[in-house]
Amino acid sequence: MTQKPYIVDELISAKAIAARVEALAKEISTFYADTDKLVVVGLLRGSFIFIADLVREIQLPVEVDFLEASSYGNSTVSSREVRILKDLRGEIAGRDVLVVEDIIDTGYTLKHVLEILETRHPRRVEVCALLNKPSRRETDVQAKWVGFDIPDRFVVGYGIDYAQRNRNLPHIGAVRFTEEN
């Protein structure tokens, strides 16, 4: 597959992300203060940097697990067909679960993941998303904690990719295809 040439314009700085992650972790630590161990479920692959930074700031005992779901492939738009590529290794029945998502766009992936997790009878499940595109939402899913609301732009960086590129950027950038005016 040949990719169209593109440029990445910085949308959210690394410094702004770090400050927001610290604030989110404080709110999450307060909310879950009564739990003996929080199960933090990262949705791969886009959340891996966010989850690493977030759990280092959470002031509670945490267990980290991962689930990989995909609805994008190498496209810039959701296919709305969610595939589970990797399931959890641990049990979540009766446990407090925090799902960590990189971005909520249409909401189909997160809705599907939450439905799966609820069948496993956790004590409670909440969501923390680094990015939220409310203008694109097609489902009724919401995150309890959101890092940043962003406009309807395709973004990369801080773990988020376009066809497996740009995950290593320290900031969030908006993709601008060079054919655009």
The residues assigned a catalytic role are: 105
- Residue 179: left if φ>0, alpha if ψ -120 to 50, beta else—which one? alpha
- Alpha-carbon distance of 31 to 47, in angstroms, equals 21
The residue type of 170 is P
Residue 56: in which H helix or E strand, if any?
Answer: helix 48-57
Q: Give the phi and the psi of residue 180 in degrees, each rounded to 5.
A: -75, 150
Burial class (CB in 10 A: 0-12, 13-18, 19+), 90: exposed
